[in-house]
Amino acid sequence: MDSQKRAVLEKQHYKIIGEHSAVKVCHWTKEEMTHDRGCYKQSFYGIESHRCMQMTPTVAQCSENCMFCWRFQDFEEDHIEVEDDPKFILEGAIEAQKKLMSGYRGDARVSPEKWQESQMPKHVAISLTGEPTAYSRLGEYIELCHKAGMTTFLVTNGTNPEVLRKLDPLPTQLYVTIAAPSKEMFTKVCAPIRSNAWEQLMDTLSLLPSLDTRKVIRHTLVKGWTLGFENQYARLDRIADPHFIESKGYVNVGYSRERLTMRNMPSHDEIHEFATRLASELGNYELQSERRDSRVALLVRKGVNRWLPGLERPLEEELRYNLPRNRQPAE
């Protein structure tokens, strides 16, 4: 990675590991530490935000330049020239996470037990920035995470179906983003590097039913661009047949402010309406949970248990967040 890019990322509190990986403590990890308020994936699936390690093996590689992306982009390539060893990346990531969290020791808002737990990450969110499937040793990396007793969420833009086809093992939960309802809109909103990116995404959607893991389709919705079109999204979702569909409103933060405005942010009520209409188009999904503070709603395929394997139904989370919409945590 060139030194200028490294300097920008370090200024933004990324801890760079080796040549192409990075860790950054998630906002929700800090919120759960200090205010017992985890992210929506804690509410939806039961991960523990204070034990989540947000990282990427591809801090400078992506096959798209999405207009809604709030991360520092400046992506020049979608492959890695010289790849670091997965063990080196995982050890470096855990070490960095522990160090980044060490400042909470003695914080009056954080119990000693919680601090201790935060020093032992239990969940790896491979999602920080970039397109992680550009790292050819991703399977080895995921295997190391699982061997260390950690669950994994992998977020991909779906433009590398060949990598997903061969990925072994698969992550605990695989996210594929469908950020536009048509090729024309996708090309404008996601600005892919390759001309066949939409066809590759379609290939990934067709592949998903055969992958033996928990699968999520995420719709990132930009008002004035990609919000609406429920019947077109439903057509794509039917191909993928995921366990879960997250409808998430665009948030006008970070670098996305250079391309979009506050007017492009859907309200939570608009997201709720989108998810309700999508569920009615699909027929076999139900709206099970939502988080007003993250402008996100969760559809679950009927009969699917949304909690991560091995988890009891986290009743406390249910009580805290599955409240009537007017009593949810403030935005």
CA neighbor of 241 nearest in space, from 174, 142, 294: 174
Give whichever of 135 and 153 is closer to ligand SF4, judged by the CB atom: 153
Segment near ligand SF4 (CB under 6 A); pick from 39-47, 100-108, 217-225, 273-281 = 39-47
In sequence order, what are the residues at sequence separation of 6 or more whose Cβ sits closer than 8 angstroms to the Cβ of residue 280?
A: none
Q: Does residue 41 bind ligand SF4 (CB under 6 A)?
A: yes
Kindly indicate which of the ranges 8-16, 44-52, 167-175, 320-328 contains the residues binding ligand SF4, using the contact rule CB under 6 A.
44-52
Other beta carbons within 10 Å of 204: 26
156 binding ligand SF4? (CB under 6 A):
no
Q: In angstroms, rounded to a whole number, what is the distance separating the alpha carbons of residues 131 and 61?
A: 6
CB of 30 to ligand SF4, least distance (A): 9
Among 16, 21, 29, 100, binds ligand SF4 (CB under 6 A): 29
What order of strands is seen across the sheet that includes strand 151-156?
15-17, 21-23, 52-56, 123-126, 151-156, 173-177, 214-221, 244-249, 296-301, 285-291
Q: How far apart are CA 323 and CA 331, in angstroms?
A: 14
Question: What minimum distance in Å lies between the beta carbon of 52 and ligand SF4?
Answer: 3
Interatomic CA distance for residues 51 and 8, integer angstroms: 26
Residue 55 touching ligand SF4 (CB under 6 A): no
Number of residues that bind ligand SF4 (CB under 6 A): 10
Regarding 152 and contact with ligand SF4 (CB under 6 A), the answer is: no
Q: Quick one: how far is CA 172 from the chain centroid? A: 13
Interface characters, 75-114, with ligand SF4 (x: CB under 6 A):
----------------------------------------
Q: Which residue from 91, 69, 90 is spatially nearest to 139, judged by alpha carbons?
A: 90
**Buried b or exposed e, range 80-114, using 16+ CB within 10 angstroms:** beebbebeebbebbbebbeebbeebeeeeebeeeb
Q: Which one of residues 16, 23, 33, 52 is an interface residue with ligand SF4 (CB under 6 A)? A: 52
Positions in 120-149 near ligand SF4 (CB under 6 A):
125
Residue carrying the six token digits 């055969």: 210
Least distance from ligand SF4 to the Cβ atom of residue 153, Å = 6
Q: Report the distance separating Cα 297 and Cα 285, nearest Å.
A: 12
Q: Does 159 bind ligand SF4 (CB under 6 A)?
A: no
- Contacting ligand SF4 (CB under 6 A), which of 22, 23, 47, 208? 47
For position 221 contacting ligand SF4 by CB under 6 A, the verdict is no
Q: Of 175, 288, 183, 292, which Cα lies nearest the Cα of 229?
A: 183
**Between 98 and 277, whose beta carbon lies closer to ligand SF4?**
98
Candidates 21, 43, 49, 220; binder of ligand SF4 (CB under 6 A) is 49
Residue 16 vs 25, nearer CB to ligand SF4: 25
3-class secondary structure, 105: coil
- Supply the minimum distance, in Å, between the C-beta of residue 182 and ligand SF4: 28
Residues engaged in binding ligand SF4 (CB under 6 A): 26, 28-29, 39, 41, 47, 49, 52, 54, 125
